[in-house]
């Protein structure tokens, strides 16, 4: 197999030939068909995540076809198309696993961070954490659903039922969640970087009721806001934009420091919370919902060996929607 492997924090990724991995008990091996590029991959590259191990093959939005099966795998067969997400393994025994909050497991493995992921021609996964994808939809279009979609969906649920929803940072996750939220009958207020006219237009095309810069106040107070951009300065901005009792959800795994802010913008029962990882239930629920919504992913495909370029383009905000690597 070939992989774009990250040998140490700071990068770059290196095209590497490796022996084909053999699936152990409970594992599957897939031939990778497509793998999405997520902002978290930049945090792995930059050495910002304490849970990351190096060397590592990044990539946790894997669409693949099962081509080998380890002992003890009952419900997947060679030839099945599956999705492999960020949550790669949980212990099943810690207090969080036992209270059905496996996203907070004390001993997890994360695909493309603490176990090898999908920037490769092949990948091995714990079969219990792979989602059957069926045959509907193109590989490249499905890839971004596996993190941008899934964690976006968990964030949307945590944002509550409010009708006026703000999305800060209009990248891969927001472009999917904006479609889900409008389908649910909510009004989306999109916030992009000041001067980012392209993202603003993109949000309006996807049905946003309003799109402006993150330095602006929305035309009406928001019921809730989700922050997808890794920018701590957006936390006070979003708190100012939500109504009394409103909620601000931080959806990313890493964020720059949050500047101090006056207590009065949190006062009146505004809530600030974070979303960590996903549960398998989130995945099953979202992947069932996605075809009903008719989500259209906006993707920019790159050949696998161009992964460094894809990451750099993501960092620079050079494309709308999501980059996807194709082996």
Residue ranges binding Zn ion (CB under 5 A): 38, 40, 90-91, 94, 97, 105, 147
Q: Determine how β-strand 62-69 pairs with β-strand 27-37.
A: antiparallel
Based on CB atoms, which residue is closest to Zn ion, 237 or 323?
323
Minimum CB–partner distance for residue 101 and Zn ion (Å): 9
DSSP string computed for 40-87: HHHHHHTT--TT--SSB-----EEEEEEEE-TT--S--TT-EEEE-SE
Minimum CB–partner distance for residue 149 and Zn ion (Å): 10
DSSP string computed for 104-141: G-SS-EEBTTTB--SSBSEEEEEGGGPEE--S-S-HHH
Minimum CB–partner distance for residue 85 and Zn ion (Å): 8
CA atoms within 13 A on the CB side of 165: 30
Minimum CB–partner distance for residue 298 and Zn ion (Å): 17
Based on CB atoms, which residue is closest to Zn ion, 97 or 211?
97
No. of helices (H) and no. of strands (E), the chain: 9, 17
Based on CB atoms, which residue is closest to Zn ion, 105 or 248?
105
- Whole-angstrom distance, CA of residue 26 vs CA of residue 127: 6
Based on CB atoms, which residue is closest to Zn ion, 165 or 172?
172
Minimum CB–partner distance for residue 205 and Zn ion (Å): 24
Based on CB atoms, which residue is closest to Zn ion, 105 or 295?
105
Sign of the four-CA dihedral 274, 278, 284, 286: positive
């Amino acid at each position: 197999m070939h992989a774009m492997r990250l040998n140490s924090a700071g990068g770059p990724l290196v095209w590497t030939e490796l022996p084909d991995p053999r699936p152990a008990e409970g594992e599957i091996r897939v031939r990778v068909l497509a793998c999405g590029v997520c902002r978290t991959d930049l945090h792995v590259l930059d050495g910002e995540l304490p849970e990351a191990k190096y060397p590592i093959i990044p990539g946790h939005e894997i669409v693949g076809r099962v081509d080998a099966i380890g002992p003890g795998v009952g419900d997947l067969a060679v030839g099945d198309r599956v999705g492999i997400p960020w949550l790669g393994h949980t212990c099943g025994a810690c207090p969080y696993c036992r209270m059905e909050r496996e996203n907070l497991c004390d001993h997890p493995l994360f695909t493309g961070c603490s176990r090898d992921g999908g920037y490769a021609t092949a990948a091995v996964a714990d079969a219990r954490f792979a989602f059957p994808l069926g045959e509907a939809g193109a590989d490249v279009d499905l890839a971004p659903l596996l993190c941008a979609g899934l964690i976006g969906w968990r964030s949307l649920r945590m944002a509550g039922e409010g009708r006026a929803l703000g999305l800060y940072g209009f990248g891969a996750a927001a472009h999917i969640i904006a479609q889900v939220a409008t389908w649910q009958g909510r009004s989306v207020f999109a916030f992009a970087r000041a001067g980012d006219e392209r993202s603003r237009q993109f949000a309006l095309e996807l049905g946003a009721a309003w799109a402006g810069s993150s330095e602006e106040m929305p035309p009406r107070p928001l019921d809730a806001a989700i922050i997808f951009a890794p920018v701590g300065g957006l936390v006070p901005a979003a708190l100012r934009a939500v109504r009394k009792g409103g909620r601000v959800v931080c959806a990313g795994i890493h964020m720059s420091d949050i500047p101090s802010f006056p207590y009065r913008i949190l006062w009146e029962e505004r809530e600030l919370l974070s979303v960590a990882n996903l549960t398998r239930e989130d995945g099953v629920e979202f992947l069932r919902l996605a075809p009903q919504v008719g989500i259209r992913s906006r993707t920019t495909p790159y050949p696998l060996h161009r992964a460094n370029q894809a990451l750099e383009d993501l960092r620079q905000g050079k494309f709308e929607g999501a980059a996807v690597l194709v082996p």
